[in-house]
Every structure is written in C-alpha cells, then in structure tokens.
C-alpha cells in the first residue's frame, strides 16, 4: 500500500545500502500480526540487527552511530 513515510525513509537510507541489508516487513499480512499489533500506529519502524532502533523518521545520526558500532563489532 502507499506509505509516503516508508518511501521517504528508504530514500534517506539509500546511500547506506551497501553497508546493511534492508528488509521490509508488511505488517498487514496475517503472518505479521504481532508486528501489526505492536506498531500499527508507529510506521515506519526501524530495527538494526534485530534490535529496535527508531520509529516514524530516520534519525540519521543515530543510525550512523549504531551502524558503525555494529561494523566495528564484526571486524
């Protein structure tokens, strides 16, 4: 479905896509009902490496900081 906030977030994250894998989850699908119940009023929601990071808009500084920490751990 149209999601302008999701589209905006993907645009902001585009320059980083070589450093992480973006996995989109459609929370309206029956198999994602737990996500829907939790986040139906808070899209988009961002998790990094399985942990909640932020919601509604990309906080690029927070994202960069957490991505850098994750990369340093994996080196």
pLDDT in tens, 17-42: 999 999 999 999 999 999 999 999 99
Tokens of 72: 């340093």
The enclosing domain of 19 has a CATH number of 3.40.30.10
**Mean of all residue pLDDT scores within the chain:** 94
**Closest of 21, 74, 17 to residue 50, by C-alpha:** 21
* Total structural domains within the chain: 1
Token pair, residue 41, equals 């009023």
Nearest partner of 13 among 52, 42, 50, 48, judged by Cα: 48
Q: Range of 33's domain?
A: 4-73
- pLDDT at 74 (0 to 100): 86
């Amino acid at each position: 479905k149209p999601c302008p906030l999701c589209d905006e977030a993907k645009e902001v994250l585009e320059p980083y896509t070589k450093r992480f894998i973006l996995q989109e989850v459609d929370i309206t699908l029956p198999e994602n009902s737990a996500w829907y119940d939790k986040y139906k009023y808070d899209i988009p929601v961002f998790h990094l490496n399985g942990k909640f990071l932020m919601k509604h808009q990309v906080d690029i500084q927070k994202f960069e900081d957490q991505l850098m920490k994750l990369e340093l751990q994996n080196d």
